[in-house]
Structure 1
Amino acid sequence: MYQSILVPVDGSRHAEHALKVAAQLARGTSATLHLMTVAEFPPDNLGLFTGGTPEPFTEEDREKLAAGMKEEAQKAIDKARAAVDLADIEVEEVVRQGRPAELIVKEAEALGVDAIVMGSRGVSDVSGMVFGSVSHKVSHTADCTVITVT
């Protein structure tokens, strides 16, 4: 049924549960799993986020922050892989930087996946309640099957 499954992970418990479900689906169909994580863009002005005065970032500061965010994103993939038995499953990894919902849908289209399996809530539960969850946005914009796991 499935040849290719995209599994966005963010280090959350829900993402690990989603990967377990995706692994079961992959084993049953010999599908390839594409583990993806998204490092969001570094903020333009950290001072505003911390309650301080606006301090402009230099390009060097932004690059250092972006590199750190990508490193943390890779740790989310490593954590998910450690939590789930992926033996005998073909697994590919991708780290992107930007807006998670948009990039997940874009990556699914680029890969031509049959399904996206993702957690219903991620590490940013509070912002999800205010701005709408990533899984909600993906489920309404993706052209493939989207399975959300709690």
Structure 2
Amino acid sequence: MYEILMPIDTSESRGRKQAAFVTALPGASESIHVSLLYVFDDENKAETTAPRQLSGGNAAFKRLREANVGIEQVSRIGKPAEQIVSVAEELDADLLVLGGRKHSPGRSALFGSVTQSVIRQTERPVTVTGGEAAET
């Protein structure tokens, strides 16, 4: 079974794009298992973030379920990039599918991003699906 880790954020659009990528892979319904990962960076914020983050996950979950892809949902509290890399190791993920945001080069250099951090911290393959421009 090919294990994919799919971290989910608050964007339904990014969740749908991530799921679309996975369901387009050959043999998706027979040989792929997806772990949807929700990371909350603060236990206190989890209550307010969860409904928005879960809506992004629901969009991805629905698309994956319709394609008969095996799914499980996992949640963690901590720094998103660190938790994503940690869970990828725990699951021995074959691929990480991240939903990217479009940032200006200056903003990315100044603030960094979860996607950049994950790519730097893991030796596992990472696919970044497109996303809409980040809100400022």
TM-score class normalised by the smaller sequence: 0.7 to 0.9
> 1 CA distance for matches of 2:64 and 2:50?
24
> 2 CA distance for matches of 1:114 and 1:94?
17
5+ residue gaps, structure 1? 43-61
Judge conservation of contact 1:38–1:73 (CA < 8 Å) in 2. Answer: no
Q: Percent identity?
A: 27
The CA RMSD measured in Å over matched residues stands at 2.5
> 2 CA distance for matches of 1:79 and 1:115?
20
Quick one: which amino acid aligns to residue 38 of structure 2?
T
> 2 CA distance for matches of 1:28 and 1:10?
24
5+ residue gaps, structure 2? 131-136
Q: Which residue of 2 aligns with 1:80?
A: 60
Higher share in strand: 2
TM-score of the superposition, structure 1-length normalised?
0.69
Shift of 1:104: 0.5
Shift of 1:106: 0.4
Q: Which residue of 1 aligns with 2:14?
A: 14
Equivalences for residues 1-150 of structure 1 within 5 A: 3-12=2-11, 13-25=13-25, 27=28, 30-41=31-42, 62=44, 65-82=45-62, 84-87=63-66, 88-121=68-101, 129=108, 130-150=110-130
Q: Which has the larger radius of gyration?
A: 1
SS in 2 for 1:86: helix
